[in-house]
Amino acid sequence: MNDAPRQAAAPARPLFTLLDVEKRFLLDGGRRELRALDGIRLTLGAGESLALVGESGSGKSTLVRVMLGLEPASNGRVLFGSGAPGGSTREERRRFAREVAYIYQDARGSLDPRMSVAELLAEPIRLHALRAAAEIPGRVDELIARVGLPADMRGKVPAELSGGQVRRVAVARALAGEPRVVVADESVAGLDVSVQAQLLNLLRDLQREQGLAMVFVTHDLGVAAYLCERVAVMYLGRIVEMGPTHEVLAQPLHPYTRGLMQAFPRFDAPLTVSLAGEIPSAAALPAGCRFRSRCERAQPDCADTDPVQRRLTSNRQVACLHPLEN
C-alpha cells in the first residue's frame, strides 16, 4: 500500500500522453465543423490526480472519451504508455478495460437495470478473472462496505437506489477491476452537498490508499481543489491553463481562470450561470483568441493571434498572449 502517492516521484513514462489532440465533429451533413478539442497537450503519471474544469460544452467529456479510445482523435496522438488507448489486440483491450476504470457522467444509465448490486460488482471480477469463484461473494461484500453502502444493498437493482447510492455502486464497480487509473465524469454533480462531500472523501481516500491515478471531470473549482493535485481549465476545446491546483487557485495566469474564481467562489456553486460576455459557438470560433469576447485584458493582437497552450514555468501552462502577473 502506498499512503503517499502525492509525493511519489514522476515516473519515466506517463500513463497517458496527449499530443496536440484535435476532435472535430461534422454538422449539417458535413457542411459545418465543430471543434470540440483543439490543440490538447496533456500527460497523466501514475498516482497523479488531475481535474478537468470548465463550463458545460468546453470539451471535458470529449477529452475523456478520446483519451480512453472511445472516440478517435481527428488529429494528434493519444498514448497509453507507449501504445494506443484501448489496445489493439483482444488481450490488450481486456487489460486496458481493467486498468482504466471509467465512471460515466450518467452513472445510472451505465448500470444494467436488471442486475442486482451484487451481480454488477461480481461481473468485472469474473470478467478479469481476479478471484476464484468461491471468493467472489466475499470480495463483493468488501467492495460494498468500502464505498459505504449498507450490506442489505446486495440484492437491490439500480431503480431501488438513490442518486448517491447509484454513484457509490458505480465507484465500487470501477474498483472491482483493481484499476490503476480511475476516470470520473461529473461524478458528484447534482447531488446534495452532504452526499457530494461523502463521495469526494471516499474518492480521496481511495486515491491515497491505493495510489490510483485519477482524472476527475468537474465544473466546480472547489471540487477540483479538494480532490486533485493538478488542474486543467478548459475553454471551448482548449486547455487555457494547467498547473498544481493550489498554485493555479492562489495565482491564476489566465483571465478565464480568474473570472471563474470570481464568479463562483463557493464550493457548491455550480458553473451554470456564465461569466459576462458572449461565448462563441464551438462551430464558429473567432479569429485570434477564443476568449476575447469575454476578456477584460484583450488587446489588439488578441484579435489576430490564437494563443496556444505553452509552458510559462516548469509546472505552469497557459494559453494567453498577456497572462496575468505571476
Ligand X SMILES: Nc1ncnc2c1ncn2[C@@H]1O[C@H](COP(=O)(O)OP(=O)(O)O)[C@@H](O)[C@H]1O
Q: Which parts of this chain interact with ligand SF4 (CB under 6 A)? A: 255, 289, 291-292, 295, 297-298, 302, 307, 320-322
Edge-to-edge strands, sheet with 100-103: 100-103, 181-185, 213-218, 49-53, 230-235, 238-244, 316-318, 310-313
Task: Assess 218 for contact with ligand X (CB under 6 A).
Answer: no
Task: Assess 143 for contact with ligand X (CB under 6 A).
Answer: no
Beta partners for residue 239, in sequence order: 234
CA quadruple 256, 259, 265, 271: dihedral, nearest 10: -70
Helices 193-210 and 163-176 pack at an angle, to 10 degrees, of 10
Nearer to ligand X, 59 or 252 (CB): 59
Residues near Mg ion, by CB under 5 A: 61
Task: Assess 58 for contact with ligand X (CB under 6 A).
Answer: yes
Could you say which of ligand SF4, Mg ion, ligand X, none residue 298 binds, taking C-beta under 5 to 8 angstroms by partner kind?
Answer: ligand SF4
- Residues 6 or more apart whose CB falls under 8 angstroms from that of 262 comprise none
Q: Least CB distance from residue 310 to ligand SF4, whole Å?
A: 11
Written as nine digits, the cell of 201 is 472523501
Task: Assess 57 for contact with ligand X (CB under 6 A).
Answer: yes
Residue whose Cβ sits closest to Mg ion: 61
Whole-angstrom CA distances from 180 to 61, 144, 211, 315 are 20, 20, 8, 24
- Residues 6 or more apart whose CB falls under 8 angstroms from that of 121 comprise 139, 140, 143, 144, 169, 172, 173, 176
Nearer to ligand X, 33 or 123 (CB): 33
Q: Least CB distance from residue 106 to ligand X, whole Å?
A: 12
Q: Least CB distance from residue 305 to ligand SF4, whole Å?
A: 8
Q: Least CB distance from residue 115 to ligand X, whole Å?
A: 27
Q: Least CB distance from residue 59 to Mg ion, whole Å?
A: 8
Q: Least CB distance from residue 319 to ligand SF4, whole Å?
A: 8
Task: Assess 59 for contact with ligand X (CB under 6 A).
Answer: yes
Nearer to ligand SF4, 206 or 253 (CB): 253
Among 56, 262, 313, 315, binds ligand X (CB under 6 A): 56
Among 273, 267, 281, which Cα is nearest to 58's? 281
Could you say which of ligand SF4, Mg ion, ligand X, none residue 39 binds, taking C-beta under 5 to 8 angstroms by partner kind?
Answer: none
Nearer to Mg ion, 136 or 166 (CB): 166
Q: Least CB distance from residue 162 to ligand SF4, whole Å?
A: 42
Angle value at C-alpha 185, between 202 and 115, nearest 5 degrees? 75
CA quadruple 162, 167, 171, 172: dihedral, nearest 10: 10
Question: Of residues 241-300, which lie at the interface with ligand X (CB under 6 A)?
Answer: 282
CA distance 138 to 130: 13
Buried b / exposed e along 127-137 (16+ C-beta atoms within 10 A): ebeebeeeebe
Q: Which parts of the chain are beta strand (E)?
A: 16-27, 32-44, 49-53, 75-80, 100-103, 181-185, 213-218, 230-235, 238-244, 310-313, 316-318
Task: Assess 323 for contact with ligand X (CB under 6 A).
Answer: no
Binding mask 12-51 for ligand X (x = CB under 6 A): -------------x--------x-x---------------
Nearer to ligand SF4, 201 or 274 (CB): 274
Q: Least CB distance from residue 11 to ligand X, whole Å?
A: 28
**For binding to ligand X (CB under 6 A), which residues are involved?**
25, 34, 36, 54, 56-62, 282
